[in-house]
């Protein structure tokens, strides 16, 4: 197991660091690369848009969490789910949908003659990254708000005579500030690592970020110089991500003792009472959802069924030709390829995670080291992982499906491990002891007691990894070869070729697949009695 962790993660990261420091250019060369004008600009741009996105995501996320946990907003339960739904749609699909909805000749331009050309460029990138980050911040802040005895503390302040608004300001927010800070770091890292949104919205505006620069270095420049430059860039990005995530970990650890303290959830009396403005509040929330998600998806759909190069509003003129080419030729084989490697990677990750969890039961130092190693690629930006894998394995596997599969397994391994570890956590030694005392041999006890408990976790991680694999753009776009285009890469290629209808229909296909898999997974989960994997992974994957 440790050997696998070493081959999958340790060796590639070692190669990355070696190439960054001791490549053809040497350490001074690495510094030289970073300080050149295009690279410095890209770094600056990345920090710029990530900071703006973080601010927006935090504001939105905290507001959403307060609305769900502390207000009398009607249909709160429904909204609680609706806020996070966009998380399962790939970022580049959202980007494409916004293009179709709000840019010139887009849906709103056609219907009410309003368009927002600035969506292409830094403002749009920051806005969409912020909207993508908001659910992350929302989930973390919501968890902090609903745990511990914060509710009780708020009640105490109200008894002491404080008005709700001041209780929010003086009690609630200070108590969840560590969660807010932690989510800010997380959103920043996920924004800086994102490739899908800049690929759609920044590249056309010639606005470069670190991830798009890595992509263009590798895709268009080529040669050892480009690889060295890309690896120095990814080393910097990786370092940034690790430092921020480490800080966020430390922050949440110091706060955990307080936030995990057991207590009542507090009174049912909401701090934010809309009273007779409840309908207005609901309309406001609905408006935001419609504006950010519903209209773009509708625009995406209309684009996908319109004849090429023209948005057609009348259903009688809609055509399916884009779908026909989306589901034929090279596109369908890209879809098949994506489905195949995603399924294989998901199967490896899910069963491997379970085996790993079993091995980890007797927690040894080697096991915990392996688990740390295997969780690194998920925390690191996809581009960094892809470059590392490329440096390590390109000699033998360049341009093959296998190298993409290795990247997927390395990046998503932690999902299988954590899901199984959570399921295993619910499995006390006594359950096994009870089986042994009942006359079951060690082997039989694991078959009758351990495996059945692990199965829901295996199914869950399979579904999650499969979806992430179908969505995967960042790593595939750096690793694909002439005959190994994945589906997301096909979408990007068609966008770059300016085929709007085809792009939209490809994006619709991936959205429908996502909805189907998520629906089946939800159904399977709710139909099962054991939801041991409920906690799953605490941090939802950032967008590919």
Partner 1 sequence: MGPQPQAPDTCAVELRNVSIGYHGHAILRDIDLAIEPGELVAIVGPSGSGKSSLLRALGGFLDPSSGSLLIDGELVADGQYSVAPEHRRVGFVFQQYALWPHMSVRENVSYPWRTRGVGEMERNRLADELLDQVGLKGLENRSPGSLSGGQQQRVALARGLAGDPKLLLLDEPLSSVDAARRDELQSLISDVVRARHLTTLITTHDQREATALADRIVVLGDGAIAQCASPLELHDNPANGFVARFMGALNVFDIEIVEFRDGRLVARLSHDFGEIIARTSRCDFEERAILVARPEAIRLTSVDGGDQEGIIIRSVLNDGRSEVRIVTSSGVELRAFESGMPTRVAGERVGLVLENCSVLKGE
* CA 488 – CA 499 distance, rounded (Å): 15
Q: CB under 8 A: which stretch of 208-216, 250-258, 372-380, 441-449 binds partner 1?
A: 441-449
- 375 vs 446, beta carbon nearer partner 1: 446
* CA 100 – CA 92 distance, rounded (Å): 12
Interface pick for partner 1 out of 18, 250, 253, 444 (rule CB under 8 A): 444
Contacts 24+ apart (CB under 8 A), 437-445: none
440 binds partner 1 (CB under 8 A): yes
* CA 143 – CA 197 distance, rounded (Å): 27
CB distance 457 to 422 below 8 Å = yes
- 437 vs 516, beta carbon nearer partner 1: 437
453 binds partner 1 (CB under 8 A): yes
- 175 vs 435, beta carbon nearer partner 1: 435
- 336 vs 452, beta carbon nearer partner 1: 452
- 269 vs 433, beta carbon nearer partner 1: 433
Shortest distance (Å) from residue 438 CB to partner 1: 4
Interface pick for partner 1 out of 40, 165, 437, 497 (rule CB under 8 A): 437
* CA 56 – CA 42 distance, rounded (Å): 21
524 binds partner 1 (CB under 8 A): no
Q: Name the H helices within 208-277.
A: 210-216, 223-260
Shortest distance (Å) from residue 106 CB to partner 1: 51
Shortest distance (Å) from residue 451 CB to partner 1: 10
**Under rule CB under 8 A, which residues in 403-432 are in contact with partner 1?**
426, 428-431
Sign for the CA dihedral angle at 82, 83, 89, 93 comes to positive
Q: Nearest to residue 202, comparing CAs of 262, 119, 146, 104?
A: 119
74 binds partner 1 (CB under 8 A): no
Shortest distance (Å) from residue 525 CB to partner 1: 14
Interface pick for partner 1 out of 254, 364, 438, 483 (rule CB under 8 A): 438
* CA 183 – CA 459 distance, rounded (Å): 28
Interface pick for partner 1 out of 18, 310, 317, 433 (rule CB under 8 A): 433
Phi, psi of 272 (to 5 degrees): -105, 105
Shortest distance (Å) from residue 444 CB to partner 1: 7
447 binds partner 1 (CB under 8 A): no
CB distance 122 to 198 below 8 Å = no
Interface pick for partner 1 out of 114, 434, 497, 522 (rule CB under 8 A): 434
DSSP per position, 158-171: HHTT--HHHHIIII
Q: Nearest to residue 20, comparing CAs of 212, 211, 229?
A: 229
Shortest distance (Å) from residue 420 CB to partner 1: 15
442 binds partner 1 (CB under 8 A): yes
532 binds partner 1 (CB under 8 A): yes
Shortest distance (Å) from residue 354 CB to partner 1: 15
Size, binding site for partner 1 by CB under 8 A: 24
- 80 vs 454, beta carbon nearer partner 1: 454
Interface pick for partner 1 out of 37, 264, 362, 529 (rule CB under 8 A): 529
* CA 461 – CA 134 distance, rounded (Å): 24
Cβ atoms within 10 Å of 314's Cβ, excluding its own: 7
Phi, psi of 482 (to 5 degrees): -55, -35
Shortest distance (Å) from residue 365 CB to partner 1: 16
Widest CA span of the chain, in angstroms?
76
Shortest distance (Å) from residue 522 CB to partner 1: 20
Shortest distance (Å) from residue 480 CB to partner 1: 42
CB distance 350 to 462 below 8 Å = yes
* CA 441 – CA 223 distance, rounded (Å): 59
Phi, psi of 71 (to 5 degrees): -125, 170
Interface pick for partner 1 out of 117, 452, 481, 519 (rule CB under 8 A): 452
CB distance 460 to 479 below 8 Å = no
- 226 vs 531, beta carbon nearer partner 1: 531
Interface pick for partner 1 out of 161, 174, 275, 439 (rule CB under 8 A): 439
Separation in Å, CA 337 to CA 91, 332, 343, 440, 530: 21, 8, 10, 44, 33
| Chain positions contacting partner 1, by CB under 8 A | 426, 428-431, 433-442, 444-445, 448-449, 452-453, 529-530, 532
């Amino acid at each position: 197991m440790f050997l696998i962790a070493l081959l999958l993660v340790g060796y590639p990261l070692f190669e990355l660091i070696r190439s960054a420091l001791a490549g053809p250019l040497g350490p001074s060369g690495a510094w030289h690369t970073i300080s050149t004008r295009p690279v410095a600009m890209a770094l600056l741009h990345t920090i710029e848009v990530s900071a703006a996105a973080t601010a927006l995501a935090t504001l939105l996320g905290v507001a959403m969490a307060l609305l769900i946990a502390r207000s009398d907003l009607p249909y709160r339960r429904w909204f609680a789910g609706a806020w996070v739904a966009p998380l399962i749609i790939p970022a580049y699909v959202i980007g494409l949908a916004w293009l179709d909805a709000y840019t010139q000749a887009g849906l709103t331009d056609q219907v009410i003659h309003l368009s927002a050309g600035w969506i292409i460029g830094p403002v749009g990138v920051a806005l969409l990254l912020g909207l993508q980050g908001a659910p992350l911040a929302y989930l973390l802040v919501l968890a902090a708000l609903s745990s511990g005895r914060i509710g009780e503390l708020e009640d105490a302040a109200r008894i002491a005579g404080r008005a709700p608004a001041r209780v929010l300001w003086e009690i609630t927010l200070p108590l969840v500030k560590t969660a807010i800070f932690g989510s800010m770091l997380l959103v920043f890292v996920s924004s800086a690592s994102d490739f899908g949104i800049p690929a759609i919205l920044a590249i056309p505006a010639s606005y470069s970020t670190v991830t798009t620069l890595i992509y263009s270095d590798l895709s268009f420049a080529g040669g050892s110089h480009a690889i060295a430059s890309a690896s120095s860039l990814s080393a910097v990005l990786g370092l940034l991500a690790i430092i921020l995530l480490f800080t966020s970990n430390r922050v949440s650890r110091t706060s955990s003792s307080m936030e995990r303290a057991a207590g009542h959830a507090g009174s049912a009396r909401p701090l934010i009472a809309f009273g007779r403005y409840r309908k207005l509040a609901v309309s406001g929330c609905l408006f935001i959802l419609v504006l950010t998600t519903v209209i773009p998806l509708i625009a995406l759909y209309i684009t996908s069924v319109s004849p090429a190069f023209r948005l057609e509003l009348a259903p009688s003129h809609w055509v399916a030709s884009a779908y026909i080419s989306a589901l034929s030729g090279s596109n369908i084989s890209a879809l098949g390829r994506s489905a195949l490697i995603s399924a294989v990677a998901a199967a490896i990750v899910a069963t491997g995670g379970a085996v790993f969890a079993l091995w980890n039961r007797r927690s040894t130092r080697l096991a915990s080291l392996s688990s740390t190693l295997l969780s690194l690629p998920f925390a690191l930006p996809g581009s960094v992982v892809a470059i590392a894998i490329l440096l390590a394995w390109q000699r033998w596997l360049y341009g093959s499906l296998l190298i993409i599969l290795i990247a997927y397994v390395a990046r998503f391994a932690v999902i299988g491990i954590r899901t199984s570890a959570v399921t295993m956590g619910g499995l006390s030694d006594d359950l096994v002891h009870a089986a042994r005392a009942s006359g079951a041999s060690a082997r039989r006890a694991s078959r009758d007691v351990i495996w059945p408990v692990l199965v829901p976790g295996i199914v869950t991680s399979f579904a999650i990894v499969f979806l992430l694999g179908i969505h995967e753009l960042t790593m595939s776009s750096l690793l694909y070869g002439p005959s190994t285009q994945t589906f997301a890469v096909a979408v990007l290629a068609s966008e770059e070729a300016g085929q709007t209808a085809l792009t939209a229909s490809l994006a619709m296909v991936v959205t429908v697949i996502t909805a189907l898999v998520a629906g089946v997974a939800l159904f399977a989960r709710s139909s099962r009695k054991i939801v041991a994997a409920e906690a799953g992974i605490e941090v939802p994957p950032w967008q590919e």
